[in-house]
Structure 1
Amino acid sequence: MTTLWIAGRPVSGAGTSDLVINPATEETVASVGSASLEQVDGAVRAARDATDRWRRTPAAERADLLHGIANWLREHADKLAWQMSVEGGKPLVENTDEVGWAAACFDYYAELGRHERGRVLPPVEDRQLALVIKEPLGVVAAIVPWNYPLLLLAWKLAPALAAGNTVVAKPSPYTPLSTLMLAEAFTQLPPGVVNLIAGGAAVGEALVVHPGTDLVAFTGSTAAGLRIGELCARQVKRTHLELGGKDAFIVCEDADLSVAAAGAAWAAYLNAGQVCTSAERFYVADAVYDEFVDRMVAEAAAVRLGSPLAPGTDMGPVIAEVQRAAVERQLASARGAGARILVGGDHGGFDRGWYLSPSVVVDVTDDMPLMRDETFGPVAPIARVSSLDEAIARANALPYGLGANVYTNRADYAYRCLDELKAGTVWINDPLTDNDAGPFGGMKASGNSRELGPEGLESFRETKHVHWSISAERKPWWYPYQ
């Protein structure tokens, strides 16, 4: 699980080694050699060499192979989930779910990829055929973050393969092991169709700028996405960017607060708040604000912090010491500006591991970094609003537009929110639920593409228009003009 996978065979990384640290114990799990620049080039060349064979593989055969990957994931779910918990810190139950979701994604695109390849247009003249053909782009560079290493890889890899592309994938240096384990799942594919390399930002940048990659699919911070976009623009290379968020969570005065508070805790603290669509700022109607805050404090206090491998753990540690420190700086800044932390924000009594207990923060203002910048930690800052107008305006005020949540039982409120909120996904009364058939992605600075659904497949396809006159005839409007 520490070797790369290039051209259908395991290869030891020839670059510098990265230590994989267990965030719950701070112990070294493994040392993984990064890909050297020569190995990055070799992986891209292997993918390039495999493109013609893979794009010409019948869609039904590709579907069988994708279903095979899904079956392998389910058969190895326990081992994969354990590995993700050790290197990433998510509770075992969440990682088991993640493996299942990744498998379902491969099954979905296996079938969608053989559904159609374009469309036939009405011709402009008799005895003509006009076609729109969907073709693979070529070689896809997939750069995946640490918070959902297998699921977010599947969201890129499955549609890319279904569309006929080949792939070079790079996981985060925090969580490479579970991704490298997938090499076994790819042994049934032609060599070079999927290549797995490891390393940090330098390896990722080498993959981005390589002239042999045709599209860069990236999930991560907005800052990193801007850098990728700049580099790709110099080559007029396509990008598929799913970037940062600062998702709003609106609670209207008519909401059932017993459900809304429980949903809010799930949206704020799932995976220790390290979800791109975590609820990171709450706007609660004045009439129910005090009761909602009380319920939210109770929900946060009830979250069981502990080892990700222990039964009954609700929340594990954050991924790394540097990440915990960044969240603590936001909390300290907010407190210094007058905010109050009602519960949490400490290390939960743990001397080792990068634990941070779930917190509820009040008396916050929109100019605080805690309400303005992405947090990526288990923090729920709650602001009071006087109306739905105010809540929507404050939700839309930031440059981010990944997701938004609303709790209301009023149809007019719900309609206003789905119509007016500037977010790629609006969840009404059911936070953070994904659907393989429903597109996922952000507006504004949160991204430029969609994953999942038919839109996810389209992101990895090129469009060609074919105009075919069945018989070659001289046209009366050609030269000379009469």
Structure 2
Amino acid sequence: MPQTMDLTVVDPRTGDLVTRIPITDSATCAEAVARARAAAPGWARTPAADRAAALAKAAESVRAAADELAALNERETGKLRDDAIGGVEAGVGTLVQYAELGPLHRGRSLHGAWAATDLMIPEPRGVVAVLTPWNDPVAVAAGLLGAALVTGNTVVHKPSERCPQTGRRFAELLAEQLPDGVLEIVDGDGTVGAYLVADDVDVVSHVGSSATGNAISRVCAERGAKTVLENGGNDALIVDAGVDPRWAAEQAALGAFANAGQICVSVERIFVHESVSDAFLTELVTQARDWADRIGPMVDRRQRAVVQSHVDDAVANGARLLIGGATPEGPGSFYPPTVLADCTPDMAVLRDETFGPVAPVRVCPDFAAALRAAADDRYGLAATVLTPDMAHAQEAWRALPVGTVKINDVFGGAPGGASQPRRASGNGFGFGPELLDEMTAVKVVHWSAPPTS
């Protein structure tokens, strides 16, 4: 018999035990994949409108359980209650969106011979392994699960080991509206994810670190499985000449400190024009001081230690610590909003994804230098440019090698937008209507009349 181990989750505010959950062993994972595989033909044959109706019912179940899900998320990850509720609401909206879009997802007819019919038809890919993160567990899972299910795939879902109760409860609410085997749930850390990736699945959809994404890509390439990956980011913010330093600092602080810097598109690197650098840094320190009472803890002490190591490395190599930068005493995994000046590209805080409430600043002589520095990175998730110059804005969105560019607004965007991360940040559309295309494969059908006698 395999040895059973437990996931242990502690409250990042108090350090108190939240839960212990048995880790799913390899045999049980294989059984979950087999059940999903067995359910796949029936679910694929279910009319698209019926699949959509089931997803819409699931959305209502999630809406009714919003307080329960938010409370679980708050205890497991330290997410502020309003943010946790907002994540559930966003997840509900995404499920409703895919319930509406699913039956409208269509193929094409082609112009062939008069006596023939030629079609391009999207079909479900089969079994999808969905591996989701802890920093917005309901909203992210809603997109990946919703798109996979409504297009006729079956799913084996592994929520993050840092929020197993939140992830499992959300998935259970969906599974209650679905036939047996259509949505299977397993619990565990990266070892369980590795079991799934190596098993008989047709798609692996993963949101998480680039190192894990690279490992998934290698295994899937050998098996011929498709990947949809949103991985690490090291998102840049450019502050151009002529902007209001206070407004720019507000934008930078929002991007760097919201959710304790634990958002996929958090601001990780700041490049500021030297003409506004002094005023900007002064305002940014003020913003950091104001944010100190508005952020929750980091998800755990392990992640906090990564953040502290990046800050220590920067200071040891010549960065100026303007505020924050020290791990506080006491329970939990809190970390203060931190501002670093005089940062250089060789420092970990600019080179790697910090994923914490740290704003590292590098002063640049002009906009062109700032743009070159922002583009010089192995990641390619998103970037923001604050500028009053239309020509600079135009050059920036064309030149930055990332999936999303935001001009004069660090967060935001119209509904339905979707982007493709670049380079180490992953591949494929991870949200929006285009995610339906990722979850399906197109079959061409040529149907000609038989010869007449």
State whether TM-score is above 0.5: yes
Moved more, 71-80 or 81-90: 71-80
- Give secondary structure in 1 for the equivalent of 2:275: helix
Q: Which string of whole-angstrom CA distances, capped at 9 and with x for unpartnered residues, describes residues 119-138 of structure 1?
A: 11111x22111100000000
AA matched with 1:336: A
1:470 Cα deviation (Å)?
2.7
User: Structure 1, unaligned stretches of length 5 or more?
Assistant: 1-12, 306-313, 475-482
d(CA) in 1 for partners of 2:76 and 2:452?
A: 67
Contact 2:55–2:177 (8 Å) recurs in 1: no
Does the 8 Å contact 2:310/2:348 carry over to 1? yes
Q: Which amino acid aligns with 1:447?
A: G
CA contact (8 A) 1:144 1:171 kept: yes
CA RMSD in angstroms comes to 1.6
Structure 1 residues 259-314: Cα deviation after superposition (integer angstroms, max 9, x where no partner)? 22111111101111111211111001111111111111101100144xxxxxxxx2
Give the aligned partner of residue 303 of structure 2.
Answer: 323
Structure-1 residue corresponding to 2:181: 192
**Which amino acid letter does the alignment assign opposite residue 5 of structure 2?**
T
Which runs of structure 2 are paired with 1:40-439 in the superposition (5 Å)? 40-123=29-112, 125-182=113-170, 183-210=172-199, 212-305=200-293, 314-348=294-328, 350-433=329-412, 435-439=414-418
| Residues 150-194 of structure 1: CA deviation (Å, up to 9, x unaligned) | 111112111111111110010111110011112134212111111
Identity of aligned residues (%): 38
Q: Deviations over 1:52-79 (max 9, x none)?
A: 1111111111111111121112111111
Distance 1:76 1:159 in 2: 21
Matched-pair contact (CA < 8 Å) for 1:127–1:471:
no
Amino acid at match of 1:175: C
- Counterpart residue identity of residue 38, structure 1: A
The amino acid that maps onto 2:373 is R
Q: Does 1:458 align with 2:447?
A: no
Classify the secondary structure of the residue corresponding to 1:357. Answer: coil
Aligned length in residues: 451
Q: 2:47 & 2:422 partners in 1: Cα distance?
A: 35
Q: 2:450 aligns with which of 471, 476, 480?
A: 471
Q: How far 1:473 moved relative to its partner?
A: 6.9
TM-score by structure 2 length?
Answer: 0.97
Q: Which runs of 5 or more structure 2 residues have no equivalent in the other structure?
A: none
Does the Cα contact within 8 Å between 2:257 and 2:337 map onto a contact in 1? yes
| SS of 1:227 mapped into structure 2 | helix
Deviation at 1:255, TM superposition (A): 2.0
Structure 1: distance between partners of 2:452 and 2:298: 69
- In 2, distance between residues paired with 1:174 and 1:441? 26
The amino acid that maps onto 2:417 is: G
CA distance in 1 between partners of 2:372 and 2:100 (Å): 41
Could you tell which deviates more after superposition, 59-68 or 432-441?
432-441
Compared with structure 1, are the counterparts of its residues 14 and 32 closer, same or farther at alpha carbon in structure 2 (3 Å cutoff)?
farther
Match of 1:23 among 9, 12, 15: 12
What is the CA–CA distance in structure 2 between the aligned matches of 1:410 and 1:72, rounded to whole Å? Answer: 47
One-letter amino acid matched to 1:390:
A
Deviation at 1:410, TM superposition (A): 2.3
